[in-house]
Chain A
Amino acid sequence: MSLLFDILSSVGMWEAVLRIATPLIFGTLGVLLCERVGVLNLGIEGIMTFGAMVGWLTVYSGGNLWLGLLAAAAGGALFGLLHGVLTALLGLSQHVTGLGITLFASSFSYFVFRLAVPTASSPPTVEPFRAYPVPVLSEIPFLGPVLFNQTAPTYLALGLVAVLAYVLYRTPLGLAIRMTGENPHAVDAQGIDPIRLRIGTIMAGSALMGVGGAFLTLAAFNSFFPTMVQGRGWICVALVVFALWQPGRALLGALLFAFFDAFQLRLQTVVDGVPYQLFLMLPYVLSIVALIVMARRARVPQALMQPYRRGER
């Protein structure tokens, strides 16, 4: 028991929760945006991989860290555009398109990475985002280092939750986005082009996914290597269901998830005799459990996965 207490009362553990949650927050918000406008984006796993690679490559070739994040966002948006054209404009299967984009974006990332670094036994590292202690606030005991001694992208992620919630629920644009996810015909009748809105929103959501991926290379691992995203994208898709498509709950879900992840990482080092793979399975098992718990309560956007074609019902 005292062991558990030691883990739970350590500042390092709670600091890690926010750090682990950051890419999930970006990714979950990205998926949430896409699904709110009525499009399932299974491209996330690949888009995160691409964001991770592009962010790393930008910084590796001399760019500034923020330029790296920007490049990742732009790269994500480009794949979002591809996804949007295929699913919103042409009305193709969202499942297959998303998987196709994941396969393409990740293999393309590996290809570019291998071109940039043809032979290297260990992946080259970059100078990552350093923790930025917020003046005064970071000196609060316990809470200070946990909440206010994070890297800049983490603050950005937290801020984004508020911005996104405001845009979705308090602006005409947000209303149009939510309405397109429920009933694109009604949106069209209002004189808004649901297809354009869908493409634009998917691009914005995919940009967030790209940034989430870049966080992995620019603030967590400091380097890029194939298969580094490790299903985080799929976990984000599950988290959106857990969050009932609401930004605030998405933050909660990401934090809860990151808590278990940080906890299992620490438990691994102190518990003997249990195969480490069981701990590593935990995040995926938890995601499935979250889906089961929430499936009954889920109020899915009504037009999710339904292509809109003018003149067709």
Chain B
Amino acid sequence: MRFERREHPSTTLNLLAPLGAVLAALIVAGLLIAIAGANVFEAYGLILKGAFGSRLGFSETLTRATPLILTGLAAAVAFRARLWNIGAEGQFYVGALAVAAFGMIPAVAGLPAPLAIVLCLGVGAVAGMILLLLPLGLRLKFGVDEVVTSLLLNFIAVLFVSMMIEGAMKDPLAFGWPQSVPVPDNAVLPKLMARTRLHAGLLIALAMAVAVWWLQARTVFGMRARAAGLSPRAAAFAGVPLGRTLVAVACLSGGLAGLAGAIEVMGVKGYVTTDLSPSYGYSGIVIAMLANLNPIGVIGAALFSAVMFVGADSMSRALGIPSYIADVTVALSLLTMLVALFLTQYRISR
């Protein structure tokens, strides 16, 4: 068996790859559901019903997709420049924590709401940036691979959050629960649908996807980031300032992940806990890959993950299949996507 590189990878195949990958992941997950003793079609029916079947379910799916779009974008912009940012989880948490800390400044509560919201979002994004600039700095200065450092920083970040919400930022009115003081009312994102959790953060996430697309497709920065990812040496030879480009990419990527945390705390929960993120940061990696690093594709991939997570919760309640099946399916779709991408680039011959 040999693999031959396709001379002209077809656009159709590129578009079919994520669909095939998701289908393959759903088939394998279906096998697991069957082994667990449930009717596969009933289970998938219930997942779809849970995610779309009611006003509440649909709003939950969109609410869940919001941080996933942002962490997916964070991974996509970084991976495109071959900056292995695996630290979105930590960046998410420091983003959220920074917003809560910023809200503790007495003057903030007196600001007009739009200004307070914009400032809080900015603070969250900057916190995320800083957390990613750390491992990037280590890479540029000392040649330390950023994969492991950004991963390890996730654990440090969550411990730091835990320290703050049990210490200096603890809410005295929370009956002893470890949670941060709530963000001030004027920094809470407005709701998009009454009596649901869906908030304006979704619009911000969608706008970010379009903005990132524009940055990557239409600006010098986008071209440089891509060149740095494809071949750093060639890019440097062509006059791309590698260090500066990577710093800019890191600011964008870390900023998006921090923004995700800020939006989650300002839109959904109102205060920070250590279970604010059901691994949104790690799911972002899957979403970016499923989208083949395309910012607009990230929206679709994030929706798929959100449907799985929200739908599996209600399916799990009805059939007793562990809701971890959603995590399994989403993780599987990353592996199947890798294979699908391979098949778009190579053909198998004997």
> Is the beta-carbon distance between B159 and A93 smaller than 8 angstroms?
no
- Give the docked Cα–Cα distance between A114 and B316 (Å): 11
Q: Does A234 count as interface, using CB distance less than 8 angstroms?
A: yes
> Is the beta-carbon distance between B155 and A97 smaller than 8 angstroms?
no
> Is the beta-carbon distance between A107 and B147 smaller than 8 angstroms?
no
The residues in B between 1 and 57 inclusive whose CB is less than 8 angstroms from any CB of A are: 2-3, 5, 32, 36
How far, in Å, is B273 (CB) from chain A's closest CB? Answer: 14
- Give the docked Cα–Cα distance between A103 and B330 (Å): 9
- Give the docked Cα–Cα distance between A107 and B28 (Å): 14
Q: Does A160 count as interface, using CB distance less than 8 angstroms?
A: no
**Given A96-B289, A231-B154, A295-B142, 6 more contacts at CB 8 Å?**
A100-B331, A275-B166, A275-B167, A281-B159, A284-B152, A292-B138
**Which one of A91, A95, A115, A284 contacts B322 once the chains associate, using CB atoms below 8 Å?**
A115
Main secondary structure of the interface of B (DSSP, over half): helix
- Give the docked Cα–Cα distance between A100 and B25 (Å): 13
How far, in Å, is B183 (CB) from chain A's closest CB? Answer: 22
Name the residue of chain A whose CB is nearest to the CB of B342. A90
> Is the beta-carbon distance between B285 and A99 smaller than 8 angstroms?
yes
Residue from B2, B154, B335, B342 whose CB has the most chain A CB atoms within 10 Å: B335
> Is the beta-carbon distance between B335 and A104 smaller than 8 angstroms?
yes
- Kindly list chain A residues whose C-beta atoms are within 8 Å of the C-beta of B282: 99, 103
- Give the docked Cα–Cα distance between A288 and B131 (Å): 14
> Is the beta-carbon distance between A288 and B322 smaller than 8 angstroms?
no
Given contacts A100-B335, A111-B325, A281-B159, contact A231 B151 (CB under 8 A): yes
The residues in B between 115 and 155 inclusive whose CB is less than 8 angstroms from any CB of A are: 138, 142-145, 147-149, 151-155
Name the residue of chain B whose CB is nearest to the CB of A110. B324
Q: Does A130 count as interface, using CB distance less than 8 angstroms?
A: no
Q: Does B247 count as interface, using CB distance less than 8 angstroms?
A: no
Q: Does B180 count as interface, using CB distance less than 8 angstroms?
A: no
> Is the beta-carbon distance between B147 and A231 smaller than 8 angstroms?
no
Q: Does A280 count as interface, using CB distance less than 8 angstroms?
A: yes
Q: Does A108 count as interface, using CB distance less than 8 angstroms?
A: yes
How far, in Å, is B280 (CB) from chain A's closest CB? Answer: 13
**Which one of A235, A275, A312 contacts B152 once the chains associate, using CB atoms below 8 Å?**
A235
Question: What 0/1 readout, one digit per residue, does chain B (296-336) give for beta carbons within 8 Å of chain A?
Answer: 00000000000000000000000010101101101110110
Q: Does A267 count as interface, using CB distance less than 8 angstroms?
A: no
Q: Does A214 count as interface, using CB distance less than 8 angstroms?
A: no
> Is the beta-carbon distance between A107 and B327 smaller than 8 angstroms?
yes
> Is the beta-carbon distance between B332 and A234 smaller than 8 angstroms?
no
Q: Does B104 count as interface, using CB distance less than 8 angstroms?
A: no
- Give the docked Cα–Cα distance between A91 and B86 (Å): 21
Q: Does A230 count as interface, using CB distance less than 8 angstroms?
A: yes
**Which one of B143, B152, B286, B331 contacts A288 once the chains associate, using CB atoms below 8 Å?**
B152
Name the residue of chain B whose CB is nearest to the CB of A99. B285
The residues in A between 35 and 78 inclusive whose CB is less than 8 angstroms from any CB of B are: 42
How far, in Å, is A187 (CB) from chain B's closest CB? Answer: 19
- Kindly list chain A residues whose C-beta atoms are within 8 Å of the C-beta of B159: 277, 280-281, 284
